Structure 1
Amino acid sequence: MSELNESATLLRMLVGKLGRRLRESAPPGDLTWSQVSVLGYLIRDGAMTVTDLAAAEGVRTQSMGATVASLLSAGMVQGEADPCDGRKTRYTATSAARARVTANRALRDDWLVRAINTQLSAEEQQQLLRVLPLLQRLADNAS
């Protein structure tokens, strides 16, 4: 295996592990990761149908329907008729959902800031800052 292949494998594993650590830093019994992801789409991108959300997440429409239904019953989303096609329902995040997602993100950000401050030296923190634009490019342009 080439050095680039080994580095790509290591990066994938580290990003996955960091993602799991960030999810674990959220309060126990909070929303599932699928629910958080759906709310993220609705907050970032605005109203979406179950079909739109399923396509964005790469899951079956039936699975997304169950996730949306759970969020609907928890008061985290609300539905309204699609203005272009009244047979479809477009969902939006409620103000309660927005507040919860904001609080959840703040907890994860706090965990990450503490980890960076306690685990990395000042020089290492600068190295991390320098690599962020590269990671952003990979995340934005990966095909």
Structure 2
Amino acid sequence: MASDIRTVFGKLKRRLRQHGHHHDLPPSQVSVLLRLETEGSATVSHLARAEGMRPQSMSSVVAPLQQAGWVKGAPDPDDRRQTLMSLTPKCLKMLQEGRAARQDWLTARVSQKLSVQEQQQLQAALALLTRLVED
């Protein structure tokens, strides 16, 4: 059963990714964007530590994001020698639109593919899965 759960969730994750409008960004760039979104502004060095990378490698991940207008750098108010990277409004809009697209796709898929009774069963299964992942 564990293998089946992993397989189904992997397929679901791939399908959601197809509908998420991440503009074909590599996983490393998506990870940086999501980290900046959840944790706020950070230096390239901090991002590198958090992602388990060398700062030079992280610079090559961040540079295309800056060029695309997804992230911007600003001097750290506490240490002007440092640059804090943060998401641009353009990026925040892209992330929001991507989530909405994935939500819309999944909502439509559930209502199209599952009967009301099956939807109730899925809701019950979600409660069980939630218990599995809670500490």
**Which residue pairs with 2:126 in the alignment?**
132
Unaligned stretches of 5+ in structure 2? none
Percent identity (aligned): 43
1:79 is paired with a residue whose SS is strand
The residue type paired with residue 32 of structure 1 is L
1:91 is paired with a residue whose SS is strand
The residue type paired with residue 88 of structure 1 is Q
Q: Which moved more, 1:76-85 or 1:117-126?
A: 76-85
Taking a change above 3 Å as real, the CA distance of residues 87 and 13 of structure 1, as seen in their structure-2 partners, is farther
**How many residue pairs align between the two structures?**
134
Q: Which moved more, 1:10-19 or 1:49-58?
A: 49-58
Taking a change above 3 Å as real, the CA distance of residues 38 and 138 of structure 1, as seen in their structure-2 partners, is farther
1:5-43 superposed Cα distances (whole Å, 9 cap, x missing partner): xx222212211111111111234x814153333222222
Contact 1:77 1:93 (C-alpha < 8 Å) held by counterparts: yes
User: What's the Cα RMSD here?
Assistant: 2.5
Structure 1 length-normalised TM: 0.76
Contact 1:75 1:94 (C-alpha < 8 Å) held by counterparts: yes
Q: Which structure's relative contact order is higher, taking Cα pairs within 8 Å and 6+ residues apart?
A: 2
Unaligned stretches of 5+ in structure 1? 1-6
